[in-house]
Structure 1
Amino acid sequence: MAADAESLPEEGLALWLTEQKVNPRMVPWLGRHLVASIGSSVAGQLDFFLHPDGQAVKVSMLRVHPDFQRRGLAGVLMDALYAAYSTAWINHGWRTKDGAQWWNGYREPTPHRNVHNRPPAEWASYFDAVNVASDMAHNAHQNNHYGLDGHRDAIYRYGERLEAEAALHAAAFRPVAPMHVDLGSQPLHGAARLALPPAVHEYVHDRTQDSRARATALLEHLGHGNLPREAYWNTTRQSAFADAHHIALYDSRPAGPPLTHVVFTLAPLQALLPSTAHALATSVKFTHPGDMAVDITELAWRQADRQHLTHQAGFAPAVAAAIAPVSARHASASYQARYDEGGFLRAAARSGALPFADRAAQIQAMAERLLLGRTARARTTRPPPAPPQTAVPHPPAPGQTPPRPGRRA
């Protein structure tokens, strides 16, 4: 490892584990990419499949970009795989000419976990013994043809004919049933990559500001009806972030303003028909061309070049939103009533979020009654007010004495 690292460029090496989207009916194991980047360039990639219990790995492809070959990078990737799954069986499958020549110079960290080096009785529940034997025969032919050793002393030698060995262990293989995400039982997480205006970018990444207000600003900027359609919606937030970063690694567009990766967390979808979605083991992609009403329960975001700083905010109650339709002609009537052509809330939809919005008819009727009563009172003729009364004292009769103050007459 040390020699490998010393031969790499000064920009530094980063390894990223991302999900490989595969049809579980074709490959029921979990697909993974292990990507190596140097600076802003993808230098290599190791593709593999992981058994659901994490105790077996099948390598499907190892490749290094021509600009970074012969620097030990393939060994770094393979060593990282062994380290990440430190107790799992490793099946390298069959090799091409280049693969056989590379393998000839590679030194496995733990050769005893390579199924090609161990008897089928130890690993036959994970891998089909006949297929493994076929791959071993192919690799042996490659080694003989190109004059390679191929670590032949470590390879398991069958003690009897292959047919008999296969008959002993083929029945031990335990196929994995295809797994599909259950949309109605768990939240889903989907990512979008946004190039925000400078002022918006500065505000939403300012940790001194209220996180919920910043999340609301992000949603307003994108539009409530513009949740990403082409994204895979994952069972974990980290997988959604990994999807966004995997796309960024292979993005060939010229550098521009810093991107923000935003992950939307949706409440479980209870009323979704299976025919409207392409469900994988741990993710789903919606295939219906129309819009889809969803509820956002949380928002998380971070700068593409600052993976270690993640902002997040929850919404309680959840915010009503929608996955955008393919085009305006596929938009439903309810979508068109709530969102405009750009996917932004219409004025009526915005007022609907105000308090007492569900009592609009009742409030209107009350207002009309008040106005009618006011009009009726204004039309009523009132009598003129009576003049003020002023007491005038009468003169006393002859022979009487006027009463004095404080005495009764």
Structure 2
Amino acid sequence: MAGGETGLPEEGLSLWLTEWKREAEDSWTGHHLLASVGGAAAGQIDFLRHPDGQAVKVVVLRVHPDFQRRGLAGVMMDALYAACPTAWINHGWRTVEGAYWWNGYRDPAPQRNVHNRPPAEWAVYFDAVEVAADKAQNAHLNGAYGLDGHRQDVYRYGERLEAEAALHAAAFRPDPPVRIDPAAQPLHGAVRLVLPPAVHDYVHDGAQDPRARAAALLEHVGHGNLPREAYWNTTRQAAFADAHREELFAQSPPGAPATHVVFTLSPLDISARPGACALATSVDFQRHPGDVAVEVTELSWRRAGRPYVTHAAGFAPAVAAAIAPFSAQDASKAYRDRYDEEGFLRVSARGNAPPFADRAAQIQAVADRLLRGRASRARTSPPRPAAPQAAVPPPQTPQRRVPGPGRRA
């Protein structure tokens, strides 16, 4: 797996796992194994993992054209095997390109490939009939293009498998999907921002008040512009992972560092919002056309290139905000009354509270301290000197005559 052996650079190659958000029909969790080279997205494996971790289904393997034929696909597949060291691996059916790649790939654990073992060993995890169909598809491609396809490892390769698969089909036990209850915990959603230089410098200045910086970020985004295309996760770290994934595929202007911002919301009920969907670890509002009124309890943010420095500030009380509607026509009356066409607070929605109303106690304490100091100085101040015997009247400034109508000055 060394870079020099695969044709990839020794430095700048990174692999990491992130969640694959999907509306599942079972309890298998979705994952992306992403590869980046020099900070650019280079390849990806999409796969599903059984809840007990003992079975994996590869769905898609893809490599960016700029990084093909350099061994990256093999590096990613080896990493998947290493991440699931005891699991059954189901590679499914292959395309023509996939068949050629598999023909040259060295399977690190052929004994864990379900295509190489009898269904009685793995049929509880995978539908035996479906696996037989995938094997038949792969056998056809191998025969059509003259590929070996690791024939010596494949169990009963090329023989009719329908009858045997049918014997074990009943062993397959699909589990029902697991979905979160959005009303049971806070939700976290991320947005990737390229801020104006002055705003960027201010919000990342650790010497400034974090709550004021969080308020400035919220004002910059707009209270009615919380991201509707974000997945709202059960953890803040999952939201930051979403932002990092977007970072890999984003095209930023040169010299403009991005900021990843995570909004933390109070628990909310989605039952009355058509199209909103609870997934295994997140909530998807993308198919709900209207706005969603929420309460922001905390903001967290970090520079894209410095994930180890995270700024955060809480709001007490929570700040009323909204996930943006799909379009202006889909906005509710309450949203239109509170936010303008661009999603920013209307003047009327800001209320008539005087400036610094939330700092009344602090200001009063300062005023009391000043008054106490003034009284103390009055008690200890020296007596004033006696007034002079003859006071000299101050000089009077001569008044200028103002000409009346018809007169010259």
Amino acid at match of 1:321: A
Amino acid at match of 2:176: A
TM-score (norm 1): 0.78
Q: What secondary structure sits across from 1:219 in the alignment?
A: helix
Residue number in structure 1 paired with 2:382: none
Between the aligned partners of 1:167 and 1:110, the Cα distance in structure 2 is: 27
The verdict on how the C-alpha distance between 1:293 and 1:22 changes in structure 2, with shifts beyond 3 A counting, is same
The verdict on how the C-alpha distance between 1:332 and 1:256 changes in structure 2, with shifts beyond 3 A counting, is farther
CA contact (8 A) 1:4 1:73 kept: no
Q: What secondary structure sits across from 1:306 in the alignment?
A: coil
The verdict on how the C-alpha distance between 1:227 and 1:154 changes in structure 2, with shifts beyond 3 A counting, is same
Residue number in structure 1 paired with 2:12: 12
Query: Where does 1:312-323 land on structure 2 (aligned, <5 Å)?
Result: 312-323=312-323
13-22 vs 171-180, which moves further: 13-22
Amino acid at match of 1:8: L
Deviations 1:113-159 (A, max 9, x none): 2112222222111101111122222223333333333222222238x
Q: What secondary structure sits across from 1:281 in the alignment?
A: coil
- How far is 1:94 from its partner? 1.4
Q: What secondary structure sits across from 2:106 in the alignment?
A: coil
Tell me, yes or no, if structure 1 residue 87 matches structure 2 residue 81.
Answer: no
Residue number in structure 1 paired with 2:56: 57
Structure 2: runs of 5 or more not aligned: 359-409
Between the aligned partners of 1:66 and 1:222, the Cα distance in structure 2 is: 36
Between the aligned partners of 1:168 and 1:189, the Cα distance in structure 2 is: 46
Between the aligned partners of 1:331 and 1:40, the Cα distance in structure 2 is: 38
Amino acid at match of 1:17: L
The alignment of Structure 1 onto Structure 2 pairs a total of residues equal to 356
- How far is 1:352 from its partner? 6.8
The verdict on how the C-alpha distance between 1:353 and 1:193 changes in structure 2, with shifts beyond 3 A counting, is farther
- How far is 1:161 from its partner? 6.5
Residue number in structure 2 paired with 1:301: 301
Amino acid at match of 1:216: A
Residue number in structure 2 paired with 1:250: 249
Query: Where does 1:147-166 land on structure 2 (aligned, <5 Å)?
Result: 147-157=146-156, 162-166=161-165
Q: What secondary structure sits across from 2:274 in the alignment?
A: helix
Q: What secondary structure sits across from 2:108 in the alignment?
A: coil
Residue number in structure 1 paired with 2:391: none
Residue number in structure 1 paired with 2:99: 100
Query: Where does 1:149-298 land on structure 2 (aligned, <5 Å)?
Result: 149-157=148-156, 162-252=161-251, 254-255=253-254, 257-270=256-269, 272-286=271-285, 287-298=287-298
- How far is 1:74 from its partner? 0.6
Between the aligned partners of 1:76 and 1:59, the Cα distance in structure 2 is: 15
Structure 1: runs of 5 or more not aligned: 358-409
- How far is 1:278 from its partner? 3.3
Tell me, yes or no, if structure 1 residue 74 matches structure 2 residue 76.
Answer: no
Amino acid at match of 1:173: F
The verdict on how the C-alpha distance between 1:276 and 1:65 changes in structure 2, with shifts beyond 3 A counting, is closer
- How far is 1:88 from its partner? 1.9
- How far is 1:28 from its partner? 5.7
- How far is 1:274 from its partner? 4.9
Query: Where does 1:29-48 land on structure 2 (aligned, <5 Å)?
Result: 29-48=28-47
Residue number in structure 1 paired with 2:345: 345
Between the aligned partners of 2:52 and 2:188, the Cα distance in structure 1 is: 23
Between the aligned partners of 1:292 and 1:263, the Cα distance in structure 2 is: 17
- How far is 1:45 from its partner? 1.6
- How far is 1:173 from its partner? 0.1
CA contact (8 A) 1:4 1:76 kept: no
Greater C-alpha Rg = 1
- How far is 1:5 from its partner? 5.8
Deviations 1:240-275 (A, max 9, x none): 222223233223465451111111111111364152
289-298 vs 309-318, which moves further: 309-318
Amino acid at match of 2:315: F
Amino acid at match of 1:228: P
Between the aligned partners of 1:228 and 1:33, the Cα distance in structure 2 is: 22
Amino acid at match of 1:303: R
Deviations 1:381-400 (A, max 9, x none): xxxxxxxxxxxxxxxxxxxx
Between the aligned partners of 1:266 and 1:111, the Cα distance in structure 2 is: 46
- How far is 1:72 from its partner? 1.1
Between the aligned partners of 1:227 and 1:221, the Cα distance in structure 2 is: 11
- How far is 1:216 from its partner? 2.1
CA contact (8 A) 2:3 2:10 kept: no
- Over the aligned positions, Cα root-mean-square deviation in angstroms equals 2.9
- How far is 1:92 from its partner? 0.4
Between the aligned partners of 2:56 and 2:32, the Cα distance in structure 1 is: 12
Amino acid at match of 1:118: R
- How far is 1:107 from its partner? 1.7
Deviations 1:205-262 (A, max 9, x none): 2233333332222112212222112222222323322222323322346545111111
- How far is 1:36 from its partner? 1.4
Amino acid at match of 1:93: G
Determine what percentage of the aligned residue pairs are the same residue: 69
Between the aligned partners of 2:304 and 2:86, the Cα distance in structure 1 is: 33
CA contact (8 A) 2:129 2:169 kept: yes
